Structures are given as structure tokens and as C-alpha cells.
Structure 1
Amino acid sequence: MLTELRVRDLAVIADVTLPLQPGLNVLTGETGAGKSLVVDALALLLGERASADVVRPGAEKTIVEGAFEFVSAVHRHLLPPFAALGIELEEGRLVLKREVLREGKSRAWVNGSPTTIGVLAEIGALLVDLHGQHETQSLLRPDAQRDMLDAYADADVERVAVRDAYTRFKELESREAELTTRQADVRRKADYLRHVLQEIERAKPKLGEDETLEVEAKRLAHAEELGRLARELEETVDAAGLTKAQKILASLLRVDPSLGKWQELLDSAFAGAAELAQAARLYASEIEADPERLNTVEQRRDLLFRLQQKHGPSIADVLAARDAAARELELLDTADLDLRSIAADRATASDEFARACTALTEKRTAGAKKLGRAVNRLLPSLGMEGGRFEARLLRRTTHDARGAEDIVFDVKLNEGLEARPLARVASGGEISRLMLALKVVLASHDVVPTLVFDEVDQGIGGEVGGRVGEALMDVSREGRQALVITHLPQIAVYADQHLVVAKGKKGGLATSDVEVVEGEGRVKEIARMLGDADMATARRHAIELLKTASEKSASQSGTPTPPVRAHPNR
């Protein structure tokens, strides 16, 4: 949740830091003090479009910074989407920053690292719902409406079943299409494949054969020269030179016996010379010109060359082409059987998918009715006697992994008006209270940790205001947080933290400041909202409202009621 918001040089705000707490945070102040600017600042921080006219006169840029901290359950939920955005949550903490320059350009940072405004908006959708004159409300998105209804209808198992059944069905459909295409392709080129197979099988090429034949062809083409050179080598390698060497070495040994190892070397030379002479003699006797054999070798080489030209630079490639042709031709024999098998599996998968969709539709239908009843029960107490809500299921022409229908939240704000999709209803106090009713009903299923309401009290007062305050208190429990801009004391008294915006002057410019009020300061602010901060009647009424709200809050949370410290007669 949002723990701190700092705003610098935004319109009439010079430099304000708002400390925020879990639970209900209420922001009050006189008309024109700049309360809504705080929400505007938060919207900027969460990726809303900005213009240069937001920059405070005399300043170079507007700066908004926000610090978020998350309880373990929210932290676990946020890890996957944040990882997809390439963002690490450092010990459950996140710091966002946005600058809007006077020329209209924007810059943004996440945990000190530069990012885009688009990423900031994606983060904002995960962290905060802004209800008012802003387009960052998660419940306006069709996917969020579907997810909310499914969670409320306890349809997680059915959702997974639909997704898995659809994936299985599409895999089989894809395999069937691929195999059908391959079969048709093989049929078109079957004659060519048979020719390739027969041509290579007739030739029966062997790995390394081309290299062996190349060596043999050279020997046959140069047989006479090779024989002559071998005989010359035999005649040259004789024992004459080595015999003379033996005599000289014997003379050396008589004088210096330490040269005995030289004798071993000379003996080896004698043996090597004899072996070389014998090999040369054998080679010369075996090699002979054979024009007929040379012609046969050249023809075989020519055949292999043509195959290599057609099917690859090497014999290995030629053999691979043979095997590939054989496999493709084999497909003609097996494809029909495989296609029948896949078609049977696909039909089974289609039936399973249809059953899974039916089960999910049943859960959604029941959940939609239950959700509609729950929200509509709340609307009269929130000042919307003629308001109606309905979660509508729209049948899809083609089913997919999301099921057989789209989900649309329809609303009717007053009697005589037609129901319209929630996303197409203009913002205002009534839609904010409708959103509040939805949030109260869906509280245990909503994963957005922070809610902001800017116009929730528009057009109401008195008892309805108190009911709205109670609803806001309800929706900000269980580790959640709400920030409410209000002019109604009946709402403000339910705050866990009360902040007051006041306008003054600094350096000749209008300036708004924010302070947390408690005790006497809070009584005075509630009295001001009732009509007169210094009137004894207003102060007594303020103390009574605070006491009643504190008792209701304590009864819901099970904690003792703290006393309201104030001086009613002052």
C-alpha cells in the first residue's frame, strides 16, 4: 500500500508530503484548497497523461514521488506481474518517481532506475484504483470484470479446466492441420520423391567413397611415373653409405667407447633403410597402368558428383536426402491412419472443452446473480435508490481459453435511465458510490491494495453520508487501504488517519499544505465541515459523530473504543 506521497511544484502545491496509513485515510479542506490536486498527483505518478500547465508558476518541473510497502500476501501476488515487467520488489518496498518538465516532457523512475510512462501505468493498475475523474479503475477493464466475477463465483477450478481443455483441443487441431498440409504436400511431389529415392538407392553411395576413389584415380592416371619413382627410391636406399658409416664409427669406438649409443642409432638406420627399400620394391611391383579400371573409377566418381550436385555437397547429405524422401513417402502410407486417430482425439477434446465451458458458465451465471443481489442491496444505503447493477454474460460466437462468454458489468444509475456497460458510464459521485459498493462486495477477491475515491460524496449528505463512511471503513480493512477526498463530516469521522489541506501564500503565490490532525485539531476540522469550527453546537456534534464512528469501527474490529479528546465548550 501507499505509505508516503510527496508532491513538489504541482499547481498551487509547493512541497507537500502525505504520510498514509493502512485503513481509511481521509483528506478534507475548504473548497479550492487543493484537495483534488493530491489525487491528480497520484494519477500522474501512476502513468496518467500530463501537460505542461501542471507545473507550478516559477518552477522548472513538477515532481511526484510515492513509496509503497506490501504485506506478504499482496507481495506474493505482485511478484509474477512485476517480474514480467523486469521489476524487483526490494524487501516488499517499491518507490516510484515522475517528473513533468515545463516544456511538457515526462520522465519516470522505479526504485531509482529509469522507466517508461507506459510501464508506470502498468504498475499503477496493479497498485491503485482511482475512482473519480481518472481512468485508472481496474473494474472498467473487461478482463478485470471477468476475473472478479470468477473469483466471486469461486470458479478457479472451472477456469483452469477450460484453459487446459482449450489448450489440448487447439494442440490437436494444430497437429491435424499440420499433418493434412504435409500429406497434401507429399502427394504433390510423390513422383519426385520416388525418383530421388530410387536414384540414390541404385547408386548405393557409401560414406568416404568419393575420397577413396579420388586417391585411386590419381594412382591409376600416374601409374608409370609412380612405378619408376618407386624403383629409383629402392635403388637409392642401399647399404653403401651406411656401410662406410659403420667403418668410421668402429674407429671412433676404439678410441672412445662412450660413443656406444651411436651404434644403436646406426643399427636402426640399417633396419629402416632395408624396410623402406622393401616397401618401395613391393609398391613398384603392384602398381601398373589399367585404363579399364581407371575408366570404371571415373564413371563412378562422375555418378557420385552428380548426386552431390543435386542433393548436397557431401555423400552424407546425399544419404540424408535419401532418408528424408523415404520418410515423406512413408507418410503417405501412415497419414490417413494418423489423421483418423487425431480426429478422434480432437472430437474427444472438443467434447471435454464444451463440458468445461458449460461448467464455467453455470458457475458464472450463479455468481453473476449473487453479485448483482449483493451490490443492489447496498446501493440504496449509499444514496442510489434507483441504481441497479447486473453482471451480464454475453455468449461468444467462438469459445476460447476464457470460456464461452464475455463478462460485462452493466449499471443503471437512476430510475428511467437505461442500463449501460460500466466502462461507458461517465464518472461522478454516483458511479464512485457504485464502485464503492462493488469494492465492498468484492473486497475479499480484489487484489488491488489501495483505493482512492475523489467524488464519492457528490450529491449526498446526512445519513447516506454516514452509510458511505461505514462502507469506506469496511472496504479499507483486512490489510487494504483507502484514500478519500470528501467534504462530508459523516464520512471524515470514520478515518483511521485524517489529513487536512489548507491554502495560504508563500512568496506571493498561493500554496497548499497538508497536515495530519488528531484530537482537538480533528474535532475542530469536523466542526468546520459541519458549519463553524468555533461554534459550540458544531463542536458537540463533531465529538458525537467521532464517538459514534469510533464505536462502530471498534465493534467491527473487536478493539476497545478510544476516547475522543477535545474541549467541547472552548
Structure 2
Amino acid sequence: MTRKARAATSSPVPRSAPSPARAGPLLSRLEVRNLATIRDLTLELRPGFSAFTGETGAGKSIIVDALGLLLGGRSNTDLIRSGEESLLVTGFWNEGRSDECSASRRVTAGGRSTARLDGEVVSVRELGEWVSSRLTIHWQHSALSLLTPAYQRTLLDRPLPEEVQAYEAAYRAWTDARARLERLRAQGRERARQLDLLSFQVQEIAAVAPQPGEEEPLSAELTRLSNLETIALGAAGALDLLSDGETSAAGLLADAVKALGVGAKYDETSAQLQRDLREALSSVQAVVGELRSLAEDSAPDPEELARVEARLSALGKLRAKYGPTLEDVLAFQAKAEQELAELTRDEQDAGTLEAEVDRLFAEVQRAGKALDAARARQASPLAASLVNVIRELGMPHARLEFRLSPLGQPGPTGLSDVTLHFTANPGESLGPLADIASGGELSRVMLAISTVLGAETPAVVFDEVDAGIGGAAALAVAEQLSQLARERQVLVVTHLAQIAARADHHYKVEKQVEGGRTISRVRLLNPEERLEEIARMLGGKASEAALSHAQELLAGRG
């Protein structure tokens, strides 16, 4: 089955609890070759909540970097493992019960990047679009989508498809009509000139009314009329030989007929020859009649000669201007008539289109106000829901609101800009999220959005969502991630034991030295190894107290 066919018929794969309820295509395996300190890694991934931990400098974020390349992120040759010619990242997604799709990207030391979907070479943009429908990464200082007005606007627009579509349709109709009106106005003077020119050209050709193929017989007739005297002289000479001369062909034939008359009474051959000579004499006499007409017509009719010459001259002028053939002249006439009709229609439309533009503008205003009102109704409840979650994530004084700022004129997405304003600190004024929030705050705001509205892709990756928090806030973040993992595949790079303990699957990133080279490995921990890793995260080493605390955290998960 092809990649397109699999994508069209994909369905969630069977999962073991706990597992995403509506995950869709899941990232099942990640293969990495020669990326940073990773030499060769095959990572089997599972549904639910997966945590990635490791000591500082072990390379936990390399996994995120690998997935970022599949999303079409900018390739950096510094990511290629020292001494290697290229790196390769390949992700595998379960698209159905038996179907698996792959996406890969190779980056060479020379900076060349090759993207593939199911082995087929595609552009990096196409690769990113395909993967971004299945995977989202929220990483420190890189939650770029959250910073864009477009994304902030879509948060309000998700439940408003009818209002959004109504406005977009009204805006398109208005802008199309306005563009045509502006074009007609700008082309007014040129259109008038074209109308005059085309009208003249069409009338000039129509006045002559050329017919295909008429020039050849006209030229022959002009040649005949111009040489009538020569034709008459030739006819007179032939007439003299055949009939009018002292000795003529007609006389000789008549004598021959008489000479055979006696013998024809007694010989059938002579009789037949006599009959043949009579026919020849009859033919000569017929030719003599025509020659006599030619010999007498020695001067052309001046009017007829002038008519033929004038017609040929008129046709020649048309060919010179619109040719080179009469067929070309007629084709030019048809095209000019079509353009003339279109310009005439535009001239008429310009007078009525202005009123239509005004009517469509009023419709844009009506649809835009309805959209603004719908967005305003969504803004406060959504902001309140987000703030409730954000405050649980270690920002107890956070405030957030959506603001609609009227535009000078209607835009493609509405009459107002939508911006998300935020502050995490008490007593501070709200400011644009893009200007105020730190990387860690952005990650937690995105976590809140994913929890309240649901993640937009089947798999969600968080890198350092726990930056700057601990204690109760860490437990709250863990709870939110756990809730999100009920519906999505969640991968989290974390340094907090509270978050790692809440995960369904725990992977450890380790750095080792082999043959004088540093190598990073990632492995799924068994229960005993997991206990020791969480104890290390709590106290730096697996002491009795740390192990006991780790046991308590693990016992409380779920």
C-alpha cells in the first residue's frame, strides 16, 4: 500500500493501558545515525506518557533535535557526529493495524539535506508538513507557534468555524471586486485608447470583407485584363490560319471531306474517315468562333480593370497590417471583436461595480463584527480556564487575557488583531506574550493550552517544560502531562523526579566513552533501574532516603 493510501485509511493502533484515547497515528520508532554524540540508536516508543531523563550533559535534548529535523527544522552541520559524512534521522508511525509510514531526513557535511516519505524523495517543506500533522514539539525558547498572532487567533477561532468561514468568504468577495474596480479605473485611459483602436481595426477589416482564397483568381483576372491586346493579336493570327487566310485549315478540311465523298460510297473505312474529318471540321469551326471573339476584344473594360486592381490593393493592405495571409487577417478580426466586446463590458461594469464594492464592504463589516463578537465571547472563559491551569503549573500569580485590537481596515482574518497578553508576576502589567514570557513559561502556557483545548497532533513533545519549578508545581505539571497523555502520545525531556515518576514509560539517556569517543545511548528502564534513576534525580545518588522518596513518588503515580 502506498504512503498516500495508508494516510487516507489510517486508524489508531491497538494500545495497552494507559494509552491515548484518540491518538491517531503514533510515533512507534525513532532511528538516529551520527547525530551529535549518538552513533547508532533505535528507539522503540510507546503510547501514553514517556519521560526522558539523564545526567546533565548526557544529551537528553538530542532526541528533540532529531525530531526537530523531521519537522523541517533548519539543518545544522554541527549536529553531524565528528568524523562522519552525514547524519540520518528516521521516524516510523503506525497508521493502522498493519500499516507503517516512515519519514526521514539526511544532512551531509556539505550542508545538503535530503527528505523522504516512505522512501520517496520530497522537499523538506513537504516532510515538515507531513510530520507536523502528527507531531508537535514545545521546547525551551522555541514555542514559536505560540508567539505568533496567527496561532493566538486560532485559539479563539477553533469553536467558531461558521463565523470564520462567513467572514473569509465575504472578505474574498469584497477584495476581488475591489481589485477589479481598481484595475478598471487604472486602465480607464488605456481602455479608451484600446476601444478606439480596436473599433477602427474591426471596421477596417469588415469594410473590405475579405474571403479566404479570393486573391488567386483576382490576380489571374488582372493578368488577363492587362494583356488583352496581346491575347487578341494571337487569336487573330490563329484565326487567319484556321479560317480567314487564303489557305486555311477549315478550307483544307472541307476539301478533304469532299475528296473522300466518292470513295465513301463503296468503302466503309473511307466513310468512317470522312465522318472523322467532318467532326474535326466542326471542332475547328467552333474554335474559330471563340477566336473571333478574342480577336475582336482587344481593349479591357476600364471599370472592370479598376475594380480588380482596387480589390487586390485593399486585400494587400489588410495583409500588410494584419496578415501575412487573409486567414490571419480574419483571425485577427475575430480576436479584435472579442477584445472589443470585453473592453466594452468593462466600460459598462466600471459604472456599476463601485456600488457592488460598497455593498460587499458592508457585508465584510457585518461578518467581521459578528466574528469579533464571537471571539469576545470566547476570550474571557478561555483565558480563565488557561489561567487556572497555568497557576497550578508553578505560576500562582499568572494572569492572561486575549485582546482584540481594531485594524485600520478589514484584514484577511477579521476586523481586529488577536493577541495574547500575559504576566507571571504580581503587580506587573500584562504585556504581549511574545515579549514577556520566558522559555519555561512559554512551555507551561503551551502545556495549559494542550490540556484545556487538546493537543492538535497525536504526539506532543515537551522539552524542559519543568524549567524553574519544583515541589507542588512540579507535581501539578506532572498531573497535567498525565492528563494529556490520556488522549495523546506525550514525550517529555525532564530533570524533575516528580514528572519522571508520573510517566508510563521511563527512558534514560546515558553518555559513555568507547574507544576514546563519547557515545550517547537511550534505553527503556526496568522497574528497579527506574527506582534508582528517580532516586538519583532526587538526591544526586541512590541513598536510602532518596530511594525511599523515589518509592513514594512511584507508588503515588496513577
For the criterion TM > 0.5, the same-fold answer is yes
User: How much does 1:224 deviate?
Assistant: 6.3
CA distance in 2, matches of 1:137, 1:230: 104
- Find the counterpart in structure 2 of residue 498 from structure 1: 506
Structural mapping, 1:84-233, within 5 Å: 93-101=101-109, 106-123=113-130, 125-133=132-140, 135=142, 137-151=144-158, 154-180=159-185, 184-188=189-193, 195-196=200-201, 199-223=204-228
- 1:468 equivalent in alignment to 2:477: yes
User: How much does 1:502 deviate?
Assistant: 2.2
Give SS of 1:379's match.
helix
1:280-329 superposed Cα distances (whole Å, 9 cap, x missing partner): 88976776552522232112211222233234434455556667777777
Decide which structure has the larger Cα Rg and report it. Answer: 2
- Find the counterpart in structure 2 of residue 366 from structure 1: 377
1:42-88 superposed Cα distances (whole Å, 9 cap, x missing partner): 3234333344443334444433322234479xxxxxxxxxxxxxxxx
CA distance in 2, matches of 1:58, 1:492: 35
CA distance in 2, matches of 1:224, 1:315: 32
- Find the counterpart in structure 2 of residue 8 from structure 1: 33
| Shift in CA distance, 327/382, structure 1 to aligned 2, threshold 3 Å | closer
Q: Which amino acid aligns with 2:79?
A: V
For the 8 Å contact 2:141–2:439, the answer to whether it is kept is no
For the 8 Å contact 1:380–1:386, the answer to whether it is kept is yes
CA distance in 2, matches of 1:523, 1:275: 133
| Shift in CA distance, 191/9, structure 1 to aligned 2, threshold 3 Å | closer
1:146-197 superposed Cα distances (whole Å, 9 cap, x missing partner): 233211xx11111111121122222322333444456543534666556545
* Aligned residue among 435, 456, 473 for 2:465: 456
Q: Which amino acid aligns with 1:27?
A: F
For the 8 Å contact 1:527–1:539, the answer to whether it is kept is yes
Q: Which amino acid aligns with 2:33?
A: R
- 1:511 equivalent in alignment to 2:519: yes
CA distance in 2, matches of 1:490, 1:452: 18
- Find the counterpart in structure 2 of residue 22 from structure 1: 47
CA distance in 2, matches of 1:148, 1:438: 8
1:249-308 superposed Cα distances (whole Å, 9 cap, x missing partner): xxxxxxxxxxxxxxxxxxxxxxxx999999988976776552522232112211222233
CA distance in 1, matches of 2:93, 2:311: 79
CA distance in 1, matches of 2:311, 2:529: 107
CA distance in 2, matches of 1:395, 1:465: 39
Q: Structure 1: where are the runs of 5+ without partners?
A: 73-89, 241-272, 551-570
For the 8 Å contact 2:421–2:430, the answer to whether it is kept is yes
- Find the counterpart in structure 1 of residue 359 from structure 2: 348
TM value normalised by structure 2: 0.76
- Find the counterpart in structure 1 of residue 433 from structure 2: 422
For the 8 Å contact 1:231–1:284, the answer to whether it is kept is no
User: How much does 1:486 deviate?
Assistant: 1.1
CA distance in 1, matches of 2:550, 2:288: 126
- Find the counterpart in structure 1 of residue 270 from structure 2: none
- Find the counterpart in structure 1 of residue 391 from structure 2: 380
Q: Which moved more, 1:496-505 or 1:414-423?
A: 414-423
CA distance in 2, matches of 1:280, 1:132: 108
1:456-488 superposed Cα distances (whole Å, 9 cap, x missing partner): 11222222111101111222332x222111122
User: How much does 1:508 deviate?
Assistant: 2.7
RMSD: 4.1
- 1:391 equivalent in alignment to 2:396: no
CA distance in 2, matches of 1:37, 1:355: 51
- Find the counterpart in structure 2 of residue 295 from structure 1: 306
| Shift in CA distance, 291/474, structure 1 to aligned 2, threshold 3 Å | same
Give SS of 1:493's match.
helix
TM value normalised by structure 1: 0.74
Q: Which moved more, 1:308-317 or 1:325-334?
A: 325-334
For the 8 Å contact 1:183–1:331, the answer to whether it is kept is no
CA distance in 2, matches of 1:489, 1:40: 23
User: How much does 1:348 deviate?
Assistant: 2.1
Number of aligned residue pairs: give it.
Answer: 495
Q: Structure 2: where are the runs of 5+ without partners?
A: 1-25, 243-249, 254-279
| Shift in CA distance, 374/204, structure 1 to aligned 2, threshold 3 Å | same
| Shift in CA distance, 212/345, structure 1 to aligned 2, threshold 3 Å | farther
| Shift in CA distance, 206/41, structure 1 to aligned 2, threshold 3 Å | closer
- Find the counterpart in structure 2 of residue 526 from structure 1: 534
CA distance in 2, matches of 1:51, 1:333: 59
Q: Which amino acid aligns with 1:175?
A: R
- 1:339 equivalent in alignment to 2:339: no
- Find the counterpart in structure 2 of residue 486 from structure 1: 494
- Find the counterpart in structure 1 of residue 260 from structure 2: none
Sequence identity percentage: 37
| Shift in CA distance, 107/332, structure 1 to aligned 2, threshold 3 Å | closer
Q: Which amino acid aligns with 1:112?
A: G
CA distance in 2, matches of 1:277, 1:300: 38
